[in-house]
Chain A
């Protein structure tokens, strides 16, 4: 009962929180002292990046590791990893687009050879490679094994992206909320909006993951049924 309720509520709650984020971000919060209205991108860009880099890729990595571990090996894990990487790719592209929109007026260019930007783009290519390897293999087990290894190798890039602003001199600013010292650089309604945005995009991730997973289950089922039908057809041909 609770499970059904939470599944039914996931979509509407996500939409309400997203609407709240946009309302607070665009109309209620004041413009920044230095950056003016440009700072409003802060309410979507970090949340999108959080989903793209940590939530999606984290889910994909854990699911892939569980698939490779023989005790927990199941196609459910493979499907979860696949769906998480697909969602991650969409959010990586959105991260780069929103970052670019912020970068043009701030740095004067749409793209800079900055460690954070470059490593994020590389993670995007890793995700493309992951999806390519899945399309290249028809054998379900082989596809699952290989893509799980690719996901784990790609995940090495995530801590590099995270610490890139500390390891190298970058144009990209450092953390504003979860700073190493634990001091918030954003306050009041701006901080509240930022947290609502993080919650909204987190729920959006789970909503999309669930929807994508259901599509994958239906697709697998359809393939199995069509294979069964083809086998039955062959058998009938053999009888007559």
Chain B
């Protein structure tokens, strides 16, 4: 299973590196969304806003939707599903691999957007750095949930509007937990309690994905 996961993750990341969709389309979209969030808050509030963590996660959710769609489109290309079926790859391994690749992409994007929120939304650098472990876990959970919901929404072949309707309610606890732990890192408070919620969500989504991804692949 782990071997399959590493193979699939490497394949997805290689495709992403060659196509540069992440670099030239997704990242600029994320940065633009962050700047627009600052503009929406207005000059008085954007500079010293406590909304920074929430806006960061909101932008990450939007970016994640694009990435999940992209990740599923890769699977939908002609011949891919037939190849997976012919090779007899373990569906749990495929799920883990796709989730891992998505997590790596989200972590990279998150790093850039955290820098952006320090610059644009003036979130404190030290607090932002101490929030990193919780951001890593929350984005990991987002990747696991996103991979599952991406497959549920029909992959690259389903209607693009279905993914947000299906996945955003599932992402909302992650948004809350991520925002709370980030805010706690900035202003002090119970960081670990919220961090734990993200960790439980990560484990739960990985477990459900390992169990049920095969059922979705049957189709």
User: Which A positions have Cβ atoms within 8 angstroms of B?
Assistant: 68, 122-123, 125-126, 128-129, 132-133, 136-137, 139, 141-142, 145-146, 149-150, 152-154, 156-157, 160
Also in contact, A145 and B169, with CB within 8 A (given A132-B162, A133-B152): no
Are A125 and B168 closer than 8 Å at their CB atoms?
Answer: yes
Once the chains are docked, how many angstroms separate the CA of A146 from the CA of B216? 6
B86 at the interface (CB under 8 A from A): no
Chain B: residues with Cβ within 8 Å of the partner, total of 21
Once the chains are docked, how many angstroms separate the CA of A133 from the CA of B163? 9
Are B169 and A125 closer than 8 Å at their CB atoms?
Answer: yes
- Output the nearest chain B residue to A146 by Cβ-Cβ distance: B152
Chain A residues touching B, majority SS: helix
Once the chains are docked, how many angstroms separate the CA of A149 from the CA of B212? 8
Chain B residues touching A, majority SS: helix
- CB of A132, distance to nearest CB on chain B (Å): 5
- Per-residue CB contact flags for chain B residues 190-219 toward chain A (1 = under 8 Å, else 0) read 000000000000001000100010011011
Once the chains are docked, how many angstroms separate the CA of A48 from the CA of B208? 30
Are B162 and A145 closer than 8 Å at their CB atoms?
Answer: no
Chain A to chain B contacts (Cβ below 8 Å), 14 pairs = A125-B165, A125-B169, A132-B166, A133-B162, A133-B166, A136-B154, A136-B159, A136-B162, A145-B219, A152-B212, A153-B208, A156-B204, A157-B169, A160-B173
**Most chain A CB neighbours (cut-off 10 Å) among B152, B166, B173, B219:** B166
Are A149 and B215 closer than 8 Å at their CB atoms?
Answer: yes
B153 at the interface (CB under 8 A from A): yes
Once the chains are docked, how many angstroms separate the CA of A123 from the CA of B204? 18
User: Which listed residue (B152, B159, B172, B173) contacts A150, Cβ 8 A?
Assistant: B152
Also in contact, A142 and B170, with CB within 8 A (given A149-B212, A156-B204): no
Q: Which residues of B contact A122 (CB under 8 A)?
A: 169, 172
Are A137 and B154 closer than 8 Å at their CB atoms?
Answer: yes
- Output the nearest chain B residue to A143 by Cβ-Cβ distance: B219
- Output the nearest chain A residue to B164 by Cβ-Cβ distance: A129
B158 at the interface (CB under 8 A from A): yes
Are A153 and B219 closer than 8 Å at their CB atoms?
Answer: no
Also in contact, A142 and B172, with CB within 8 A (given A133-B153, A137-B154): no
Q: Which residues of A contact B153 (CB under 8 A)?
A: 133, 136
- Per-residue CB contact flags for chain B residues 137-176 toward chain A (1 = under 8 Å, else 0) read 0000000000010001110001100100110111011000
Q: Which residues of A contact B170 (CB under 8 A)?
A: 126, 153
- CB of A25, distance to nearest CB on chain B (Å): 33
- Output the nearest chain A residue to B145 by Cβ-Cβ distance: A153
Once the chains are docked, how many angstroms separate the CA of A146 from the CA of B218? 10
